Amino acid sequence: MSYSRNLMLELESETVGVELRERIAWVTLNRPESLNAFTPQMGRELLGALNRAAADRGVRVIVLQGAGRAFSSGADLRQVADWGPDGSADLLTPLREVFHPLILRVRTTPKPVIASVHGGAVGFGCSLALAADLVIAARSAYFLLAFASVGLTLDGGSSMLLAGRAGHGTASEMGLLAEPLDSERALARGLANRVVADDQLAKETASLAEKLACGPPGSYAATKRALNQAAYPRLEQQLNLEAELQQECARSADFAEGVEAFLRKRPAQFTGE
């Protein structure tokens, strides 16, 4: 299968790499120096890559993966104070305009999406992995919703995606305790579909993607629509609620303290204000 040079050029970006081969779009989060922490720029570039891959009839499967030592460490807290126009922490706008459309794109594209996870899948990185149709994890992988540790709440659809995959108990545990779930426990609870040795992750991901690439696209599209209706019929509304609640938390003194503690690598002292 060949792809046009123009499409290849369109998919180039600073923070997201795309390789198209054998009807598979390999989409790589490419900020390894920050463990692929998300910024609005990376979110926009990832959304553009996914939109183009979804529209390309030559692409049958999309694989999401991270460069370097992790899948993604979540939002880049070193830059979050700059997301607002006046130096405030405006989380509502990027969630609504960039990050939550990413989750909807993964769920609504008719093509199978595989998350190939090694190292940490944290915060929004965890949400992105959970939005995929299939998750294949290296033994080194762990899944962590660390929002509570900085005074925030769940976003990226994780409140619905996690409950849909693992149930209310696991969603409450991960959301409230902000403790990591290793790959074996993630497999047992339904967050991951397969766990493989780290040195076999690329090979096993390719094998799974190639199998799907040879399958019936119409059948896959219909299956995704049916599963979305059954499991996530109100996903867009839930994303809107998460964004509103997240912005409420972002205005709190606890969030400011959580970020300061994170950056200074000390325990946070939350006051409830």
Minimum mean pLDDT range among 88-102, 167-181, 183-197, 222-236? 88-102
* Domain ranges, residue 99: 5-198+216-264
H helices, E strands: number in the chain? 12, 9
Average pLDDT, the chain: 92
pLDDT at 75 over 50: yes
Which pLDDT score is estimated for 78? 78
Which pLDDT score is estimated for 5? 38
State the Cα–Cα distance between residues 151 and 257, nearest whole angstrom: 8
State the pLDDT confidence band at 9, using cuts at 50, 70 and 90: very low
What is the mean pLDDT of the segment spanning 35-52?
96
Is residue 32 in a domain?
A: yes
Is residue 205 in a domain?
A: no
What is the mean pLDDT of the segment spanning 27-38?
97
pLDDT at 241 over 60: yes
Which pLDDT score is estimated for 90? 87
pLDDT at 145 over 50: yes
For residues 182 and 80, the model is more confident at 182
pLDDT at 82 over 70: no
pLDDT at 249 over 60: yes
**If 0-12 CB within 10 Å is exposed, 13-18 middle and 19+ buried, where does residue 1 land?**
exposed
Minimum mean pLDDT range among 157-166, 186-195, 216-225, 257-266? 257-266
Is residue 146 in a domain?
A: yes
Cβ atoms of residues 159 and 107 within 8 Å: no
To which H or E segment does residue 26 belong?
strand 24-29
- Within 56-151, residue ranges assigned H as helices are 92-94, 100-108, 124-131
State the pLDDT confidence band at 8, using cuts at 50, 70 and 90: very low
State the pLDDT confidence band at 83, using cuts at 50, 70 and 90: low
Is residue 189 in a domain?
A: yes
What is the mean pLDDT of the segment spanning 230-246?
97
- Chain centroid to CA 112: 15
State the pLDDT confidence band at 7, using cuts at 50, 70 and 90: very low
What is the mean pLDDT of the segment spanning 159-184?
97
192: domain CATH number is 3.90.226.10
Is residue 204 in a domain?
A: no
Which pLDDT score is estimated for 79? 72
Is residue 90 in a domain?
A: yes
Is residue 271 in a domain?
A: no
Please give the tally of structural domains in the chain. Answer: 1
Which pLDDT score is estimated for 263? 86
Is residue 42 in a domain?
A: yes
Highest mean pLDDT among 3-7, 11-15, 256-260 belongs to 256-260
To which H or E segment does residue 254 belong?
helix 253-264
pLDDT at 2 over 60: no
